[in-house]
Structure formats: structure tokens, C-alpha cells
Chain A
Amino acid sequence: QVQLQESGPGLVKPSETLSLTCAVSSYSISSGYYWGWIRQPPGKGLEWIGSIYHSGGTYYNPSLKSRVTISVDTSKNQFSLKLSSVTAADTAVYYCARHIATAVTGWFDPWGQGTLVTVSS
């Protein structure tokens, strides 16, 4: 069964770029599906950041689009998130997930365990 694992720095300075990677196991990304990032500020709700198709097509949450880049590396079976110009408001647990999407709907299953990223000097 597919498993996902996030990795990356747990502390990022304000104005810098947050970079995370999600390693996928027991499933080849190049076989299909979208792959997404979702975040959750401490004590708050969930926010979809964006998703990438296995072939590289992306779509992002309009509220974050200007700062987000998601990429995929099928040779390493992983996908990545970059969020630029971070502020304290970007402090959150960041989750990666398989994004099952059709032309009219989509959902996230399964999810990685999540990684806390704190933005602080």
C-alpha cells in the first residue's frame, strides 16, 4: 500500500524559501495520479497548497500561487514543494498526499505523517 514521507528543514528564516520533499513508496509516481501538498497551522484547520500530475502539470491554490512551486522527480519517485518569501503565517505542519482527481472532483488519500515547519529568525 502506498506510503508517503515528508522531509526537509524544520526551521526556516523569514523571507527565505521553504523546501520540502515527499518520498513515495510502494507505488510508482509515473504510473499516474496527482500528488498534493496540504498544510495545517498549529491548532487550526487544513489548507490545500497545490498538486502536481505525474507528468508534471500543476495547479495551485490561488491564495498561494504567486509563492508556490511544486515539482516531481519520477526517477527518485518523489515530489517537492517550494514556498518563497515565508513569514510566521507559514508556520504549519505540512502534509503530502496522493491526490485522486477526476475532471469534476478529487480527494486526498493516503497522507504522509506530516512535518512541522517553523518560520522564525
Chain B
Amino acid sequence: SYGLTQPPSVSVSPGQTARITCSADALPKQYAYWYQQKPGQAPVLVIYKDNERPSGIPERFSGSSSGTTVTLTISGVQAEDEADYYCQSADSSGTYVFGTGTKVTVV
């Protein structure tokens, strides 16, 4: 089945840049989406269609795509960005799939 692989964890110092990758099993890659989930809370959309930012999401969040890998970049990381991040896409049959998740720790 179609899978999206993320690194389990990323550590970053305040003010630095965090990059989280999401690799798809196979082509063709469809648009990817990114969600932020803080402990005990529901996921919140932070990037849609690879690199679009919803209203209300800080400019420090950005997305990019290359081949079958998409990347979420958080520039100038703040303590409040500590959370789990999930990518999401769909396979060729229209089944929606989430990535394995990445825990971002601000140290």
C-alpha cells in the first residue's frame, strides 16, 4: 500500500530552521499537506497544496516539493512550534494517507 515516510524526530534550537521531509513510496506524487498537532489537541492545517499557507498560519511555515519528497520548513523556530507534524496525500485510487509523523523538539 501507498506510504508516506517521515523522520521520527527533529531537534532544533530557538531561532534556527527546522526541515521535515515526507517521502512518498511511488510516483505519481499528488499534492501534499501538512498538519501541526500539539499534545491533547486536534491537528491544524499549516500547509496545503505543497506550498500554500492558510490564513492565520505564520509566514515562518513554508512547504516545498521535489520529485517524490516534500518538505515542511519552519524558519526562525519558536518554542510554540514544538509539536508533532504529519504530512498527508492520496494514492492513485483516492485513498487518503497520512505520514508516519515527526516530533519537533525545540531545545
Contact = CB atoms under 8 A, between A and B. Distances in A.
Interface of A: 36, 38, 45-48, 51, 59, 61-63, 95, 104-114
Main secondary structure of the interface of B (DSSP, over half): loop
Contact of A48 (B30, B35, B95): B95
Interface of B: 1, 30-31, 33, 35, 41-45, 48-49, 54, 86, 88, 90, 93-101
Contacts of A95: 42-43
Contacts, number: 56
Contact of A111 (B1, B42, B94, B99): B42
Main secondary structure of the interface of A (DSSP, over half): strand
B90 A111 contact: no
A108 B97 CA distance: 12
Contact of B42 (A36, A48, A104, A114): A114
Contacts of B86: 45-46
27 contacts: A38-B98, A45-B86, A46-B35, A46-B43, A46-B86, A46-B88, A47-B98, A48-B98, A61-B96, A62-B93, A62-B95, A104-B30, A105-B30, A105-B31, A105-B49, A106-B90, A106-B96, A107-B33, A107-B48, A108-B35, A108-B43, A108-B45, A108-B88, A109-B54, A112-B42, A113-B42, A114-B42
